[in-house]
Amino acid sequence: MVDVAPKLSVRDLTVRYGDKTALDGISLDVLPNEIFGIIGPANSGKTSFLRALNRMEEFDTNMTVEGEILFEGQDITAVRNVYALRRKVGVVFPLPVGLPMSIYENVAFAPKLAGIKKKAQLDEIVERCLTRAALWDEVKDRLNALGSLLSGGQQQRLTIARALSQDPELLLLDEFSIAVDPVTTMRIEDVLKELKDEITIVLVTNLVQQARRLADRTAFFLESELVEIAPTEDLFTGTVKDQRTRDYVEGRFG
């Protein structure tokens, strides 16, 4: 594991909103084709971590980011073309966002932005991404219906299909199952396990058991700091070093 070059290498990452510190000097590595879990209570900085990876501070004048984020060795905090960066990084938020356009257009949106114009090629991408997001069978007969009128679980799978449509190398998921029923959650989890072969996934979750089911390694964030990173199974066998991690995993606080 040590001799693999990390996909993502974060050094001394600090995120602030105004004078409030959301993330305080985090350093960690994410390896290629792993599912990297992040757990922690509310306000521990999990979401801020994802936002920094996608350079969302460009759109939030209040947000400042310090430190180094190396994506395949390249420091993205210095990347001028944030649009190219965001195309390589897919994001799924807690609440599903079906854009108010047709299901087809939702998924074809990013490829169109990337300059793909041929209908046949777009058709192929739409079908492939919806299939991978386990939604194709449910919507293939009504691709022209509004994406925003699908049920919550369907919209979340649509959101995942959309994130995949840009052919990302890194997929960031932020508590994706909050607004999704358990059956859909399981379906999406199966999708993620398959996707792992092709892309690297960072999974922020408030469900410790979800991290256990999916993540290869898991980081525990607490009060803007990284407490520790461990192979996920160690969290549950009590072999982690830090008492706070054990307490959180066993539900004694948070």
202, 170 contact by CB (below 8 A): yes
Q: Which of 30, 69, 103, 110 binds other proteins (CB under 8 A)?
A: 110
| 86/217 with CB nearer other proteins | 86
| 200/245 with CB nearer other proteins | 200
Work out whether 86 is an interface residue with other proteins (CB under 8 A).
Answer: yes
Work out whether 54 is an interface residue with other proteins (CB under 8 A).
Answer: yes
Work out whether 100 is an interface residue with other proteins (CB under 8 A).
Answer: yes
166, 111 contact by CB (below 8 A): yes
Across-strand partners of 17? 20, 63
Q: How far is the CB of 192 from other proteins (least distance, A)?
A: 18
Q: How far is the CB of 173 from other proteins (least distance, A)?
A: 12
Greatest alpha-carbon span in the chain: 56
Closest CA to 147 of 128, 182, 138: 138
102, 50 contact by CB (below 8 A): no
Q: How far is the CB of 108 from other proteins (least distance, A)?
A: 11
Q: Using CA atoms of 245, 248, 250, 253 in order, give the dihedral in degrees to the nearest 10.
A: 140
Tokens representing residue 119 in the block: 């209908």
Residue 75, SS3 per DSSP: strand
| 95/186 with CB nearer other proteins | 95
Residue 66, SS3 per DSSP: strand
Work out whether 98 is an interface residue with other proteins (CB under 8 A).
Answer: yes
| 172/188 with CB nearer other proteins | 172
Work out whether 91 is an interface residue with other proteins (CB under 8 A).
Answer: yes
Q: How far is the CB of 86 from other proteins (least distance, A)?
A: 4
Q: How far is the CB of 252 from other proteins (least distance, A)?
A: 34
Work out whether 5 is an interface residue with other proteins (CB under 8 A).
Answer: no
Contacts of 88 (CB under 8 A, 6+ apart): 71, 166, 168, 169, 170
| 59/124 with CB nearer other proteins | 59
Work out whether 90 is an interface residue with other proteins (CB under 8 A).
Answer: yes
| Burial class, 105, CB count within 10 angstroms (exposed 0-12 / middle 13-18 / buried 19+) | middle
d(CA 17, CA 64): 6
Q: Which of 4, 5, 84, 186 binds other proteins (CB under 8 A)?
A: 84
Work out whether 97 is an interface residue with other proteins (CB under 8 A).
Answer: yes
Chain positions 118 to 157 lying near other proteins, rule: CB under 8 A, are 146, 148-149
Amino acid sitting at position 210 = Q
d(CA 45, CA 116): 36
Residues binding other proteins (CB under 8 A): 54, 56, 59, 61, 83-87, 89-91, 93, 95, 97-101, 109-110, 113-114, 146, 148-149, 159, 162-163, 165-166
